[in-house]
Structure 1
Amino acid sequence: MMWTPTKAGPETSTLQPRTTFPMRESPDQHEAPAIARAEPATHYTWGDGCDGWRLVESTKLRVREERIPPGGAEPPHLHRIGRQTCYDLSGTLTVHLPGETCRLRNGDLLYVPAGVAHEVRNDADVPVRFLVTTTPAIAGDREETGCQRAPSSSGKPGSPRR
């Protein structure tokens, strides 16, 4: 993150938000308001035609916007420490959990606790866009479970992720 201190007044904060791509923790670890936007500089690809944008990248919190085309998916996996949320922006996001399948639609949010295996996929005919948050965001915390992937509505397993 980039930090822009200002003089404090009765109706002002001591820090002004500044747009950065992606937002990162400052060297002194102080938090301040910041604005992030999905831009080409933060774009990455994964799987077969899936897209992602890094919005916030810190050890305390990771926020990404992701897009899965019809039929796309990621292998079943879990995070030993990180807790995740998936917030559906558009389309229908299918999430397979142990013993349960959730279908998120625009405005739905799913919380996945640490240690819970899950598979995210798009079984619909249109792309799905969603936000993923992870806290804390620790490198190497994602572990494929080796479970068999759930078939899509077409009966085919989805494409692998990263």
Structure 2
Amino acid sequence: MHINKDKAEHYVWGDQCDGWFLERSADRTIIQERMPAGTSEIKHRHEKAKQFFFILKGEAVMWVDGQEFTLQPQDGCTIEPGVAHQIRNESKEEVDFLVISTPSTAGDRIPL
């Protein structure tokens, strides 16, 4: 099935961050997200979902179970179920990235 971000289901999260569902099912979600400069998600974990983050544009800081590293365009990282994590945009430019979750994270987010 053909999908285009401009026609995908859109939602707003956190402090003016955007998400577009490119694929949405109980088995897997693929979301393109945009984080303006200086924004972040809360630290959390998922009991069941494994996630893969892939940076399309900009620079993001990933906090994974107490360790931090920077992701540049074309960098990705996998977050296993149960592992605490957070993505932040500490730069002055927006960050665009993909998040692929298997299974879906619906009802599976546990704030720290």
TM-score normalized by the length of structure 1: 0.66
Identify unmatched segments of 5+ residues in structure 2: none
2:39 is aligned to 72
One-letter identity of the residue aligned with 1:99:
G
Alignment of 1:92-111 (within 5 A): 92-111=59-78
Cα offset, 1:47, TM superposition: 1.4
**1:120-154 deviation line (CA, Å, top 9, x unaligned):** 11000100000000001152111101xxxxxxxxx
Contact residue 46 and residue 105 of structure 2 kept, 8 A: no
Q: What is the root-mean-square deviation in Å for CA atoms of aligned residues?
A: 1.1
Cα offset, 1:41, TM superposition: 4.9
The one of 121, 140, 148 aligned to 2:107: 140
Cα offset, 1:60, TM superposition: 1.1
State how far apart, in whole Å, the 1-side matches of 2:61 and 2:35 are: 11
1:118 is aligned to 85
Percent of matched pairs sharing the same residue: 37
2:13 is aligned to 46
One-letter identity of the residue aligned with 1:135:
T
State how far apart, in whole Å, the 2-side matches of 1:63 and 1:134 are: 7
Contact residue 8 and residue 22 of structure 2 kept, 8 A: no
Quick one: higher RCO (CA 8 Å, sep 6+), 1 or 2? 2
In our comparison, the structure showing a higher alpha carbon Rg is: 1
Identify unmatched segments of 5+ residues in structure 1: 1-33, 146-162
Distance 1:125 1:138, change over 3 A: closer
- Runs (4+) of structure 1 exceeding 4 A deviation are none
Distance 1:92 1:40, change over 3 A: same
The one of 47, 52, 55 aligned to 1:85: 52
Cα offset, 1:36, TM superposition: 1.6
Tell me which protein shows more strand as a share of its residues. 2
2:29 is aligned to 62
One-letter identity of the residue aligned with 1:60:
D
